[in-house]
Every structure is written in C-alpha cells, then in structure tokens.
Structure 1
Amino acid sequence: MDRMVPLPASSPNMAAHGQHGMMHMTFFWGDRVQILFSGWPGDRGFGVYLLALFLVAIAAAAVECLSTLSRRHAQPPTASAGARASIGLALTVLHTLQMGLLYLVMLAVMSFNVGVLIAAVLGHAVGYFIAGSGTFNWAGHGGGQISVGPDFAKC
C-alpha cells in the first residue's frame, strides 16, 4: 500500500490543479507523477513521462560532465594572477551550474518515483562513463583514469 501524506489545506496547488491532496512519501512505480513542476508530467501520458525521465537523465549526465570539466581545468600553480582570476571565475560558473543541476536532479528524485530514481542513476553513470572514466581521451587529457599498478598514488 502506498504511504501518502495529505498536503496542507491551504495549498494553492491543490485547488488550482484538481489534485487529490496527497503526496507520496515512499517509492512507487507509475507514470502519473509530478517532477519539479506542478502538473508535469502528471496525467499527460506515458510519452511525456518518458520525456521527463530522459530530461532527468540528461541533467544527471551533465552534472558528471561538468564535474570532470572543472577537475581537468583546475588552476595551474604557475599561471599569472590575471589568468588565475579568469580561470577561477570560469570554474566558479561551472561549479554553480553543476550545483544547480545537481539540486534539480535531487529534487526530481524526491518525487519518490522509481523510474525517476533509475533515470537519475543511469544518467550519472552515462555521464561518468563519457566524461570521467577516461574511456574517451578528450583533448589528450587523462584525468579520471584509474591506474591499477604501482603508480596508483599518482591518480
């Protein structure tokens, strides 16, 4: 049995969107869910639900890509003061974008829908595989690769 908690009676979304006044508090399966926005995807059908899952996965993958990008472009200690300031500003913007997307993914998972959770985890996995695992040697950078030999401490 799904465990649900009633929304406060003064909730404006309840009356405006014809909701039943209940919010899931345990994980559940189903394509009738609200992710981040009131009524979306809601009762719009399975296709829109799949689109929502795809967008959650893309956001999670983007978080991993941004994380790898910021790690690979850390400030070199020999850079001039002006270059360090520019790099620092760019890294701050990347970090802000990464954190914003990460919080959106977290809030999406808090819909307690199992499909959303799976989409988020798969998105993080795909993002890490593409950008962080070192499988694709982007622009000659080897960041993120794991060594198994005696040079393990150099990772």
Structure 2
Amino acid sequence: MTMGPTMPPPMDMPYMPAMHMAFFWGHRVEVLFSNWPGDRDGVGMYVLCLLVVLVLAALVEVLSAWSRGLSRRSHDSDALGTLLMTAIHVVKVGLSYLVMLATMSFNGGVFLAVLAGHAAGFFLSRRGVLGHAARDDVHTNGALHHPSEPKP
C-alpha cells in the first residue's frame, strides 16, 4: 500500500526542536532560552548552564530564609519592611519559576543541578554562613517556642 507524497512543512513555520517527555542525559539541550546552551562550545556551555541553574536554585533558598528572618523582625505597621519583603517575595517567585522552567527541559544534569542548588542554598542559610542563622521558631499563644521544646 503506497501513500501519497508527504507535504513539506510550510516555509513560514519555524523549526521546533523535539521536546523530551522523559529525563535524558546529554549536553545538547535548550534551557530557558532558545539555543542556550545548545551545541555551542560543546560541554563547556553546558557546564556553565548547570552552574547558572545551581546558583538560581540556591538564591531561591537564600531569599526564602532572608524573607523569613525579615518577617520575624518586622512589625505589621512598618510599611518599608513590608515593601522590602514584598520585593524579596517577587524576586523569589520569579527565580522559582525560572528554576521550574529549567527543570522542564527534562535534562538529568539540569535536574541534579537544581537539587544541588536548593541543598546548597538551604545549607548556607541554615548554617548562618550568609548572615544570621535561620531558626524556625514557632509562635504559640504569644510565647516563642523552639520546635524541639515541648509545648506547655
């Protein structure tokens, strides 16, 4: 059974690279931007891409810890503090979406870079390397309790 000739794609349609629907390994990938890192300069641009994604994920964690620290010290009537926390939140959400979009490239190396970045950012913010150590204190009926302490 023969089928008729196939029609070539219209000339005005742009080339769309194949989208992966499962994790794959390799340095030929597009992350966040068209042709980045792509095939340029081989593995070097891919490694740079992984480092950028790692730093973005770490910044998400650091900004989260910074936001929590500011919210503990801020008073509800402090308009400047509220504006600063809002700006930090907007930047954090924007970076979070970029990290999510990078992960949607379905590249295994990018996924591991995201995990490593979140782990590094969490570690740095919890250890106090970037300022004061973040503590997850719990407010209960006006009293301040550490989660490991029993509630009265």
Aligned residues: 133
User: In the TM superposition, what whole-angstrom CA distance separates every residue of 1:53-91 from its partner, at most 9, and x where no partner exists?
Assistant: 0000000000000000000011657x483xx11111000
Of 27, 36, 42, which residue of structure 2 is paired with 1:40?
A: 36
Q: 1:113 to 1:148 in 2, by over 3 A?
A: same
Q: RMSD value over aligned CA atoms?
A: 2.6
Equivalent residue for 1:124, pick from 101, 118, 126 = 118
| Identity within the alignment, % | 41
Query: CA shift at 1:136, angstroms?
Result: 2.4
Aligned partner (choices 82, 100, 103) of residue 88 of structure 1:
82
Displacement after TM superposition at 1:22 (Å): 1.5
Q: Report the AA paired with residue 44 of structure 2.
A: G
Q: Which structure has the larger Rg?
A: 2
Structure 2 counterpart of 1:127, one-letter code: G
Q: Residue 28 of structure 1 aligns with which residue?
A: 24
Q: Could you tell me which residue of structure 1 aligns to residue 57 of structure 2? A: 60
> Structure 1: 5+ residue runs without aligned partners?
1-8
Q: Is the 8 A contact 1:70 1:94 kept in 2?
A: yes
Task: Say if 2:108 is the partner of 1:111.
Answer: no
CA contact (8 A) 1:34 1:42 kept: yes
Runs of 4+ in 1 over 4 A off after TM superposition: 9-13, 137-142
Question: How many Å separate the matches in 1 of 2:150 and 2:58?
Answer: 27
Normalising by structure 2, we get a TM-score of: 0.76
- Gaps of at least 5 residues in structure 2 are 1-8, 138-145
- How many Å separate the matches in 1 of 2:107 and 2:70? 36
Residue equivalent to 1:143:
135
Deviation at 1:152, TM superposition (A): 5.9
What is the SS of the residue equivalent to 1:73? helix
